[in-house]
Chains A and B, each alone.
Chain A
Amino acid sequence: MHPILARNNVRVSGRGSRTLLFAHGFGCDQNMWRFVAPAFEDEYRVVLFDYVGSGRSDARAWDPQRYGSLEGYAQDVLDVCEALDLHDATFVGHSVSGMIGILAAIREPARFDDLILIGPSPRYLNDGPDYVGGFERADLEGLLEVMDKNYLGWASYLAPIVMQNAGRPELTRELEESFCSTDPKIARRFAEVTFFSDNRKDLANVTHPSLILQCSEDAIAPSAVGDYLARSIPGATLRRLRATGHCPHMSHPEETIEVMREYLAAAPSRREQAAASPSIRHRESWTRS
């Protein structure tokens, strides 16, 4: 087996010529896709993975320098692409994985066809009068404090959660080993990297078509951020969801699946359009080379 597949706990399922690569956000792992990903298995090859330091990845591969910026996480995505020899995949990223996917796609365009970004944000902190990220620095310090306090009793926090699945022992076992079982130090660093980074300058370099799913009343990525992204990413489509909160793929999976299906079904025509547009043609030649 390719070492990356074990390192990032890569799971491949489904059938189809096109691949959906699902990337989880901060705080959880690939488990969060379980309400959405199976719906695509009949038509697509579905790839799930955990970032190094999350879920059942090999935490020994975590390196403070590499994972001290989102670029390190983008490298995880590209490593998975390389291990599976992915080309023209559709990247589906939640929350911080939106920006991670953008960084990966800028670095190796041929790996991806398009990007589906669920609740993304290029910058969580407010900046001056013109940019509303939704948070002040003190708010995010508050998050780090809440994390610290929860990790203080981390073991007891994790242990009882599995009891509710008495009817499905296999699920219980899986959760016991994996869910949110991040090392507290790694999780804290991931939080800092996520919430203190600023990727606004990268947005203009996106050459892939993208779909932004914007929830209503999202406390983490407010609508102003969705608007900003739609203005700043060339060729982006913004879809507002009825779903509230920050995790529509968990709280409102049906709507999320429906909107994703709609977008993917329109994809061939979108690709033809892209081929005709000069800014994207460059990428097409990339794909062939």
Chain B
Amino acid sequence: MDEILNDAPCGLLSFFDDGRILRINATLCRWLGRPREDLDSGTIDRILSPGARVFYQTHFFPLLKISGAAEEIYLTLQGGNGELVPVMVNAVRRVADGSAVNDCVVVRMRQRDRFEDELIQARRVAEEASQAKSRFLSMMSHELRTPLQAIALFAELLASGKHGPVTGEQLDDLRRIRTATGSLVALIEDILNFARLETGKLEVRMERVEVAGAIRRAGSLLRPRFEEAGIEYQESAVPGLEAVADPVRLQQVLLNLLTNALKFTPRGGTVRCEADASDPTVRIRVRDTGSGIPAADLQRIFDPFVQVERTRVPTGQRGVGLGLAISRELARAMRGDLTVDSEPGQGSVFTVELSAAGPEV
């Protein structure tokens, strides 16, 4: 081998598909602390650590064989005394004299390897902390829900007059207590649901769901609020359309999307819920004629605790920004998805995708 290549500040290695080493330069032999004669006739397995051998066979070689090249592959080589040498490898494949040869450039990465170890460790710690946070959220929500339900119950009891006469002013105050408690319970339900989704503890029970019926049920719950807000609400679904979904969770997603549309559509506007299918997917769309969402915010709106600035929503209606995050996770838990299209000034379309239920057997 050319003198420059032999002593270049990187390892050079060529091997056949069956792993036999064709050429290896002096630098690489030196890093491995092994004489060239020892390696020239051997196979690549001999210089890889046991873990890297598996990675080579399951990832690196298939990649090289199918795509003809592999870049930035991390491997650990094994020196003559058993010490590990972390390296980065770039490889290309060429055909020479009828047989394929794989040429590699090998760069040693001692410092960087330690740095990456630290990064991976830091990521693990962060992931664990995030999971601990979710568990804490879930526990706290449980703990908060019980006393809140007691408050609502006893306010109701007082209002009923069972314990003695109640004045009109007292009744008004008790109603306020109940309304405020109701909002808090709803918020806590959201946080609980979100924590369950994050920790993967949410269970879905998939079955055939008649889509038009699901839309009708969600719509009927919100119709009075649409009327109150002066918004026209419309429904249309292809009759007989069936999706594979968890009916309770689907209801939750539809209610979230419709409530969302209600919040962001001005008086005189229209909200429309429609469904159709193109095999094998059912699409349920909630369209509004609201102010729309700026392109820059479109991806963020599904992130938890994000509320895109939309000034016309009164503070009391804003919530904590979990509705869309939960809805998308629920859609995904049902093996579907939730996406959004929006044009500022034109309104938004939220689309729930679900698998269509095949013909009944």
Give every chain B residue within 8 A of A275 (Cβ-Cβ). none
Q: Are A165 and B19 in contact (CB under 8 A)?
A: no
A247 CB within 8 Å of chain B: yes
Q: Are B43 and A146 in contact (CB under 8 A)?
A: no
Give every chain A residue within 8 A of B19 (Cβ-Cβ). 217, 244-245
Complex Cα–Cα for A220 and B65 (A): 18
Q: Are B116 and A139 in contact (CB under 8 A)?
A: no
B343 CB within 8 Å of chain A: no
- Give the contact stretch, choosing among A9-17, A28-36, A228-236: A28-36
- Give the contact stretch, choosing among B29-37, B56-64, B180-188, B310-318: B56-64
A148 CB within 8 Å of chain B: yes
Q: Which of B61, B63, B76, B200 contacts A251 (CB 8 A)?
A: B61
Number of interface residues of B (CB under 8 A): 48
Give every chain B residue within 8 A of A141 (Cβ-Cβ). 51
A-side binding surface: helix, strand, loop or mixed?
Answer: helix
Give every chain A residue within 8 A of B57 (Cβ-Cβ). 27, 219-220, 245-247
B-side binding surface: helix, strand, loop or mixed?
Answer: mixed
- Give the contact stretch, choosing among B67-75, B132-140, B142-150, B223-231: B67-75
A149 CB within 8 Å of chain B: yes
B177 CB within 8 Å of chain A: no
**Residue interface mask A159-171, B partner, CB < 8 A = 1:** 0111111000000
Closest residue on chain B to residue A136 by CB atoms: B50
Q: Are A161 and B63 in contact (CB under 8 A)?
A: yes
B126 CB within 8 Å of chain A: no
Q: Are A142 and B69 in contact (CB under 8 A)?
A: no
Evaluate whether A142 and B280 lie within 8 angstroms (CB atoms) in the complex, with A163-B69, A247-B62 already known: no
Complex Cα–Cα for A148 and B67 (A): 22
**Residue interface mask B20-57, A partner, CB < 8 A = 1:** 10000000000000000000000101001111111101
Evaluate whether A58 and B335 lie within 8 angstroms (CB atoms) in the complex, with A150-B74, A180-B63, A252-B18 already known: yes
B279 CB within 8 Å of chain A: yes
B66 CB within 8 Å of chain A: yes
Q: Which of B62, B72, B279 contacts A153 (CB 8 A)?
A: B72
Complex Cα–Cα for A140 and B45 (A): 15
Top 9 closest pairs, chain A to chain B, by CB? A142-B51, A27-B58, A164-B68, A139-B50, A143-B51, A246-B57, A149-B74, A161-B67, A219-B53
